[in-house]
Amino acid sequence: MTDIPEKPLKVLLVGSNGAGVDHLRDMLMGGTTSRFVAATVQGVPQALRRLSEEDFDAIVLYLSQQGEAGLETFVALHDGVAGRPVVVLTDVEDETLAAKVLWAGAQDWLPEGKLDAGILRRAVWFAVERTVVLTALREAQTLLQSKFDALSARYKDESTHLTSLMADLDLAAEMQSYLLPESIPAIKGYDISAYYRSCKEVGGDYYDFIEIDPETLGLVVADVSGKSVPGLVGMSIFRTLLRANARRSDSAKIPLIATNKQIADSLSMGMFVTCCYCVLDHTTAELRVCSAGHNPLIHWRNKTGECRWIDPEGVVVGFDRGLLFDRMIKEQRCALEPGDRIVVYSDGLVEAPNGRGSRFGDKRLLDLVVAHADQGSEEFINALVQAIEDFLGNAPQADDITILTLRYVGSELRAGPCASRSSSATQQTYGLGGQQNRTRCEPAQEGLEMTEERESW
C-alpha cells in the first residue's frame, strides 16, 4: 500500500491569468520545520511542462478567473496531472465555481479571503493523504473481492466452503470494529452516548466523532447500502474521505459535497450511503445539520417538552458525481438550550419489524424520546434499547441499529451519571443473535436551536 512520503511534500504552485503565487510559497515554506518544498510557475502550459520534467506530490492552482473561464482553466490543468491531487484557490468566495471544480476533480477549494498558512498547509497535506488513502482503499477493495471470489470458486465441498466463509466474515467483523470510535469526546457541558448493533456478522451502519478544531465537533451516523465485505469496503472509503474533508471545514455541507464527488466512482454498482452529518460549535452552542437521504434528526426542547424534526433536503451519497447532489444538499442550523437533546439514528431502528407484522415506527420512537429525554444519555440509550428488544420479542433483528444522542447539560442542570466521569467509558454488551454491541458514554458540551421543523410531537 502506498504511504504518504515522510520527506517534505513537493508542491507546484500555479498562477493563472497573471495572478502571482509567491505569497503562497512563503506560506507553505515559512518556519523552520516546514514539511513542504514549493516551486512556482505561471499558467497551465508552463505547469504541464514542469510536471513532465519533475515529479510533484500536489498542485495548488490559483484561479483568478471566475465562472466558466475558471472551470476551463482547472480542467485543462487537471486533465494533464496524471492523478496528482489539485487544490484550487480563488480570490473571491464563489461557491458555484467551488462546486464545479470539486465535481470536476479538485481535492479541495479555498477562498483567499479566509486563507492563512495553517489552512493552506492542512489543505495540501490532506489532499495528498486523501489521494494516497483512496488509492490504497481501491487496491484493498480489488484484493478483498478477488480473494472472496477465489474462495467461492475454490471450495466445492459445502462444509469446507461455509467454514472458510465464516472465518472471513469473523475477520471482516473484527475489521469493522476498528472503524467505530474507541471513545466519545469529553466536552464540558454535554452528555453524549452512542449505541451500535449489527444484525449480521458484518453490518452496514457507521457512527463517528470528528474533532474539526478545538471548538468544533463533527457527529456522523451513516448507513451503507451494501452488506458483508463490499459494504465494509464502502464504509471504510466513506469514513476515510469524510474525516479528511471534515477537518478542513466547519460547514456540514461542503465536506459531504467533496466526499460524494470523491467516492462516487469507487462504490460498487448500485451501492450508496445515507448520512446525517452534524457540526457542533460548542463555544456558540450552534449545530449545523446536513442529511444525505438519511432519517431526520430529532431535537427535543427542554422548554416546551416537545420533539421536532430536523430534516434538511438531500440525496444519498454516491447517487451521482455532483450534478444533482450538489444542487439538492441543504444545511440547517439550530441552537440548543440547557436540557435540550438531539437524537440521530439509522433506519434499522424505526423500520424494525416484529413477528406481528408491525414496525417500531416514528411515533413509538418520539414517545420514548419525550419520556426519557431528561435522563442521562447512557440511561436514555438503555431505555431505547430495552424498548426495541421488548417490541421485537422473538423476532429476528432485520437491520443494523445505530443511535447517537447528545444532551446539552450547560451549567444549570445535572449531567447524569455519565458526565461525572473524567474519561470515556465503553460498555460491552450482547444483544439479539449474540452480536456484539457497544454502548459508550462520556461527559458534556453546549447547545442548539432550529431553523426549520417538520412537525412537533
Question: Has residue 105 been placed in a domain?
Answer: yes
281/205 same-domain check: yes
The span from the CA of 36 to the CA of 121, in Å, is 8
C-alpha distances in Å from residue 93, one per residue of 72, 109, 343, 391: 18, 10, 34, 51
Q: Which of 91, 125, 159 represents a domain boundary (last residue)? A: 125
Question: Has residue 148 been placed in a domain?
Answer: no
Res 150: pLDDT = 64
The tens digit of pLDDT for each residue in 1-36 reads 344 445 788 999 998 876 678 888 888 887 656 688
Question: Has residue 78 been placed in a domain?
Answer: yes
188/274 same-domain check: yes
Domain with 417 in it:
172-442
The tens digit of pLDDT for each residue in 280-318 reads 999 888 999 999 999 999 999 999 999 999 999 999 998
The span from the CA of 377 to the CA of 371, in Å, is 13
Report the DSSP beta bridge partners of residue 277: 220, 290
382/259 same-domain check: yes
Mean pLDDT of all residues in 230-237: 76
User: Which grid cell is 70?
Assistant: 475558471
Mean pLDDT of all residues in 435-444: 35
434/303 same-domain check: yes
- Give the DSSP H/E element, type plus range, for residue 194: strand 190-197
101/249 same-domain check: no
C-alpha distances in Å from residue 367, one per residue of 274, 337, 373: 25, 21, 10
The tens digit of pLDDT for each residue in 394-431 reads 888 888 899 999 999 976 544 443 333 333 333 322 23
Overall domain count for the chain: 2
